[in-house]
Structure 1
Amino acid sequence: MEQVLAPSRPSDTPSDTSGTASSTRRDVRLLPKAHLHLHFTGSMRPATLLELAEKHGVRLPEALSSGEPPRLRATDERGWFRFQRLYDAARSVLRDEDDIRRLVREAAEDERADGSGWLEIQVDPTSYAPRLGGLIPALELVLDAVDEASRESGVGIRVLVAANRMKHPLDARTLARLAVRFADRGVVGFGLSNDERRGLARDFDRAFRIATEAGLLAAPHGGELAGPESVRSCLDDLGARRVGHGVRAAESPVLMRRLAEEQITCEVCPASNVALGVYEQQEDVPLRRLFDAGVPLALGADDPLLFGSRLAAQYELARDSHGFTDEELAELARQSVRASRAPEPARVSLLSGIDAWLAQPA
């Protein structure tokens, strides 16, 4: 049975995810939830990045060494290139087994502090393979670290293997076969990341067919930097049951109706949407429009290292910038659990915890 522990009560010291919560509102860090959109390198703590860079003698760009989230805007190719360059620089400090285990252990600790009882973390093992002995050893190490961190933290953790749409579709097929090979070791899904304006989703249809025919979840990125058509392509060409981001679906009432009817979850990441310039300000993110249209949503932090906020902060944004009540926040948490690949005992535990959170006086 998957053990999912109740969220730990925060200390008296405010955390960076506490937002503006007051005594009249329930603490979102105590709301049980699932986290379905978190990238491997992007989950790293800023302090860990600096310590690993010193350990390996890596000189980081100034934007990563200042201790503050970098200023990003990726709505044009130059901006996306800068974002990718910073991400690659951060990834370069992960060089040995201890680094990988530390990252996963700390990610699990941060999830637990934010009330997450279930995490599905996304990793492209090709990014780490050259330093870790190849694709298979790299993924084996990640999965072993995940198992260890899950047992120690009480947070259920699984892995989505993600292909890079900037690379050749043949590379994606290799990763799909690798994901299938490790389906009994903790891989639950197959994704497709990077700039959806480059590398059409349909070019990766065979890779996704390999994954889905073996029972893995299809969860490609779409509908962030590109519009509703990229979401449709994820559905029609890749058989997506979850869409990474998907916020641009709000531009099409017909598409929103389809997502609602087919119960396809959008993994919405409010902080990163604004940080990357998809929307000018938080109030512009169509979270309320999607929710009211009945589209299932799972809030995600995307890359906290670069965007400066973790999971609980996304719930604070839903509350403070989009007017979500505690009842609606609880429903967002339920939707995240329902969209997860958590086993039934873990789902029941988390859903019961959500009801208990809501039953507490505000």
Structure 2
Amino acid sequence: MTRPETRSRARSLADLPKAHLHLHFTGSMRVQTVRELAAHHGIRLPDALTTGYPPRLARATDERGWFRFQRLYDAARACVRTEADLRRIVREAAEDDAAEGSRWLELQVDPTSYAPFVGGLTPALEIVLDEARSVSRTGPTGVAIVVAASRMRHPLEARTLARLAARHAGEGAGEVVGFGLSNDERRGEVAAFAPAFRIAARAGLALVPHGGELLGAQAVMETLEHLRPDRIGHGIRAVEDPQVVAAVADAGVALEVCPLSNVALGVFADPSEVPLRALTDAGVPVALGADDPLLFGSRLVDQYETVRGLGVDDAGLAALARQSVEASRAPWSVRSAALAAVDDWLAGSTKPAPAAAPG
């Protein structure tokens, strides 16, 4: 990443081809969508999702702040009750990503929350996968799925989800390409989830747990040691220990960095404090992500705009876009086309995305 000496007319970051690797299913919803779903199902939303939107989140690094964030997330998730609701979320996530230049989206979902409404875990996941295949055939953005377990539940449930993910594992759009671990990382022991990740690894899935956002560098090291990840969601606090940063870089593990999410949750007071440059200077691959646009009020291009505002020039932004594509599980044809399109963008001759994403 480099700093600009002079800047001509800025290239559109919505036109910069990229992959989106850190987006949660419920958190991807448009605020208008959650309001319409709530009205349809007769659910009263908190003021923070209606008249008080966007929400002002307290510091999630303390228990009260995380509780407020989780309460809002749960309120939005409770509005998702039918197959049509599930399909709408996938479709709109693909549309929104396409508008922001994303050639490939790995949408993270825990089907547990939706299973009671559609007949079980397997139907919930299969509905999401079927819609992902449909939107990938007709739109410019390929959509694949990451099945995520929750740290708030027993590790045995994570094994159940890993087996489900393994049964639907594949290498293209509309397939399960990864297995994750999300929610409050202060809950549960990382090592207890290792058996679930071994199940996912045997199926060839990308291992993409969260770690190192609410907790420090030691949490990142424990994630490396016990779960052997391909990527880590967030991982930014690895910079608190140079040896951990070196370990991440040596392992070739990409970090899914979500700058505006970190600020919204109070991990950092300002985007300038997000240690993006320290990570990239150390050789750590970084993929920018939006995390939960519904609650943070910022999407993927906003992350790139924020980084540009911190002094990163177009060559540096293109490097971040390349790293996102390279860290993805997109098929080779999608990755090669996207990487070539990044070069075209940097050269000032951006070409439109293909009508439909292959794979």
TM over 0.5: yes
* Residues 286-345 of structure 1, C-alpha deviations (whole Å, 9 max, x = no match): 111111111100000000000001101100111103x21100000000000000001110
Number of residues of Structure 1 aligned to a counterpart in Structure 2: 340
Per the alignment, residue 353 of structure 1 pairs with 341
Distance 1:29 1:141 in 2: 29
Per the alignment, residue 30 of structure 1 pairs with 15
Tell whether the 8 Å contact from 2:211 to 2:233 is kept in structure 1 after alignment: yes
State the percentage of identical aligned residues: 62
* Residues 7-49 of structure 1, C-alpha deviations (whole Å, 9 max, x = no match): xxxxxxxxxxxxxxx9711111000000000000000001111
Distance 1:67 1:156 in 2: 34
Per the alignment, residue 35 of structure 2 pairs with 50
Tell whether the 8 Å contact from 1:117 to 1:154 is kept in structure 2 after alignment: yes
Within the alignment, does 1:136 sit opposite 2:125 as a pair?
Answer: no
Deviation at 1:154, TM superposition (A): 2.0
Aligned partner letter, 2:91: R
Per the alignment, residue 196 of structure 1 pairs with 185
Distance 1:171 1:304 in 2: 27
Q: Secondary structure at the match of 1:52?
A: helix
Q: 2:53 aligns with which of 58, 62, 68?
A: 68
Within the alignment, does 1:243 sit opposite 2:232 as a pair?
Answer: yes
Q: Which structure 1 segments of 5+ residues have no match?
A: 1-21
Deviation at 1:67, TM superposition (A): 6.1
Within the alignment, does 1:307 sit opposite 2:296 as a pair?
Answer: yes
Distance 1:260 1:165 in 2: 25
Distance 1:149 1:92 in 2: 24
Distance 1:71 1:28 in 2: 27
Distance 1:111 1:292 in 2: 28
Distance 1:226 1:145 in 2: 35
Q: Which moves more between the two structures, 31-40 or 67-76?
A: 67-76
Distance 1:146 1:238 in 2: 27
Q: Which structure 2 segments of 5+ residues have no match?
A: 1-6, 351-359
* Residues 138-185 of structure 1, C-alpha deviations (whole Å, 9 max, x = no match): 001010111112122221111000000011000000000000011136
Q: Which moves more between the two structures, 252-261 or 173-182?
A: 252-261
Deviation at 1:66, TM superposition (A): 2.1
Tell whether the 8 Å contact from 2:47 to 2:53 is kept in structure 1 after alignment: no
Aligned partner letter, 1:112: A
Within the alignment, does 1:83 sit opposite 2:69 as a pair?
Answer: yes
* Residues 33-92 of structure 1, C-alpha deviations (whole Å, 9 max, x = no match): 000000000000011111111111110011111262211121111111111111010011
TM-score by length of 2: 0.93
Aligned partner letter, 2:136: S
Per the alignment, residue 264 of structure 2 pairs with 275
Per the alignment, residue 106 of structure 1 pairs with 92
Deviation above 3 Å: which 4+ runs of structure 1?
Answer: none
Q: Secondary structure at the match of 1:79?
A: helix
